[in-house]
Structure 1
Amino acid sequence: MLHRLHLLGFSVFERSTLASCVRLAATREPGYVLAPDPDGADFLIADADDVDAVLSTTAAGRVADAVFVGRHAPEGAAAWMPRPLDALLLLRELDAIVAMRGAAAPAERRRFVPHALIVDDSEVATRYLAGRLERLGLPSIAARTSGQALERLARQRFEFVFVDVELGDTSELDGLALCRRLRREPSPGARGAVLVLVSAHHGEVDRVRGALAGADAYLGKPLDDDELTRLVSRPPRAAAPASH
């Protein structure tokens, strides 16, 4: 069985070494291949000395699926290895994790199942909201643009979709347009999901525009923890798709 790995961080040389080792490991059992997207990976290989790699792994709720290489690893990591990087030792660590999980009862196996999608071009804002949702028992994954959001919604279902109104220039649609699109042509993952618009502009007119776009709720920035807690614990009923 092939297990998908995604690399976070590392130097060009280390990434090349790891990629070569993984290619050779594709024909063994268990086998491994590289995944271009962390959401499609079974395991993450993270550079423990790269702050962004550690924060991304933590924000995605994937620490328990990650092998960290470096000075230290977050609590709950699947495994940890010091530098210098030893690709063969890394494969042995992965083999041990796969064997341990294979022997576990199905009910005891940990599988990351995101319940919320955060659509925001700001990494800082995404991490902040993801952390708040994690505390409320709501794991999440992120999309930076409307296109990425639609791709994720085509593959899996979510309970909540949080959309920043002011998506950046790299996004084909802004938050309001994306919300209207999901109501008019709901993706499989958005059916039944609660659509929440988030913006630093949250006056009465802004909220009316959000409601007209089909949003079920509207949160202002900076986020109010009490308001977010009420929303997650007692979510509004998701609006029905717009009729054609």
Structure 2
Amino acid sequence: MTQVLASENTDQSPRSFVLEMLGFSGPEKEMLASTFRLTSRRVFTYNEPASPADRSDVYLVNADNPAALAQLQARSPNVHAPAVLIGKISAPSSWPVVEKPVRWMRLFEQLDAVMRAALQQRARRVQTEMGDWDGHTFRRAVDRNAPPVLAGVETRPTDSVLVVDDSATVRAFMRAKLAPFRFDVDYAENGETAIDMAQSKQYTCIFLDIMMPGIDGYQVCKRIKSSPATKDVAVVMLSSKSSSFDKFRGSWAGCNAYLGKPVTEDELLATIARFLPSARRVATAILEKAS
């Protein structure tokens, strides 16, 4: 971990924000939390409160839940601690609204936008109201005499992903969608090359086309899953065929997930979020707690 003095005058400095979710069911919160783990790879990172004492930087609210809207009002969101709503609202809102079904990049962009505005407002308070207040750690007048603190910035992870597809269009799509999350992405145009690459480098996830020159994706998946060196890597099969039989063949070959082509951005992000090491640790902890 590196240490930097909290600063409000740049959007490029890595920042971590406490995000509080209001009005979502347990499964909805877990889905949102698993996808937010992807933001650990971005300049702006969003994490749930680690303890009840954590002060929220931003609120994410289920607009379809009246109780959640009442909770939000009780928390008094403002320009320094804003909100983003998910769902439909009956009246105009001063906060941005993301419609369902949620498009993940749209949600990330809205959160980034309100937090950039919040950082600018906090910076103005530094200049006009609070003297040496750092603009980040404290937001209330009662805290103005507390000393500024150093904000920790975690080193970004560098999980590797392998995309196996003979289509240059698919490879370009995957490159564009994975690049903002700082994955180390490799590419292979056929199954034989993919098997060799998987043996020589550890991958978090392999996206595997089924129809390719040479051996097909089913055979590649079987060989990856049968090798002690690669059996634990997550394999996501990509295919324009999405019948029950095709999915059964993928499952029989040992794949962890099956996506139909054309792959949408939201499906891609939601799928890869499931297989990040952080997501697996959470799932393991849940299973251990239940046993």
With the length of structure 2 as denominator, give the TM-score of the two structures: 0.39
* Higher CA-based Rg: 2
Q: Greater relative contact order: 1 or 2 (C-alpha under 8 angstroms, separation 6 or more)? A: 2
